[in-house]
Amino acid sequence: MSEGSLSAKRAIVTGATSGIGRAAAERFLAEGARVVVAGRAEGPLAELERDGAAPCRVDLTSADDRRRLIESGVELLGGLDVLVNAAGVLEPGTIETSDLAAFDRTMDLNVRALYELSHLAVPHLVRSRGNIVNVSSVAGTRSFPGVHAYCVSKAAVDQITRCAALELAEHGVRVNAVNPGVVVTEIHKRGGMSDEAYAEFLERSRATHPIGRVGRPDEVADLIAFLAADRAGWITGGTFAIDGGRAATCAR
């Protein structure tokens, strides 16, 4: 294993069993960080454990599990330098078709869990002068029909990022977010999209992203790793587009 700019950093990564969270965990491990990986799926957690991570099987919709993750993670690592909030959910629906239960499920994981994990991590990050990287979305900065609750939740993540960055700057703690466009992960399928519909969605997304393709989880992980490293020490409060130009477009 080669050591990089995250060597010896102590990190907790949520949503680490798939997609962007998993790519971030793998990148951190490759750069020499010590990593606690959090998720619900036992198989991927076991795979990451074989790669050197410490697994923590949690359901982040549970307040008890959120507290357990931070407490056990800090104990395992002997402190905390980086929290990567990558866990999230996407449920399709409009203000006409989504009921409050669907709205609440989205806000609970995408916003409430992220907020509480960050809140619980702050005392440890203050001690280490560490940082938080939140995984937001282009949907936090631009509006899209059909994913109403998701857009609202990611706009909230962006504002949490900015507010926390100002509040924690005096302690030397940085807070940033990445805002991906469409990236090939399982989040849409888990939201109910069929394999056929997802293939059509990815093909259509080639036209909605000016660079002409969708993204890969490892590309987003590269940006997360940069923001988490000391070389990004003068960057805080940023919400960084990594979306093939999608946020720069008007309706297409």
pLDDT tens-digit readout, 19-50 = 999 999 999 999 999 999 999 999 999 999 99
**Residues of the chain scoring pLDDT < 70:** 1-4, 251-252
- β-strand pairing of 54-57 with 82-85: unpaired
Give strand pairing partners of 241. 179
| Active-site hit among 103, 150, 226, 240 | 150
- The mean of the pLDDT values for the chain is 94
Q: What is the pLDDT of residue 144?
A: 93
pTM of the model: 0.94
In angstroms, rounded to a whole number, what is the distance separating the alpha carbons of residues 248 and 162? Answer: 20
Per the annotation, the verdict on 150 as an active-site residue is yes
Q: What is the pLDDT of residue 161?
A: 98
Q: Measuring CA to CA, which residue among 204, 215, 220, 202 is closest to residue 244?
A: 215
Q: What is the pLDDT of residue 112?
A: 98
Residues 6+ apart with CB under 8 A from 226: 5, 232
Q: What is the pLDDT of residue 88?
A: 96
Q: What is the pLDDT of residue 2?
A: 45
Tokens of 105: 């499920």
SS3 209: coil
Q: What is the pLDDT of residue 251?
A: 67
Q: What is the pLDDT of residue 240?
A: 98
Residues 6+ apart with CB under 8 A from 174: 130, 131, 132, 165, 168, 227, 232, 233, 235, 236
Q: What is the pLDDT of residue 191?
A: 72
How many CA atoms within 13 Å lie on the side-chain side of 19?
Answer: 22
Are the beta carbons of 87 and 61 closer than 8 angstroms?
A: no
Which domains are assigned to the chain?
10-241 (3.40.50.720)
Burial 102-129 (b: 16+ CB within 10 A, else e): ebeebbebbbbbbbebbebbbebbeeee
Q: Measuring CA to CA, which residue among 237, 235, 141 is closest to residue 180?
A: 141
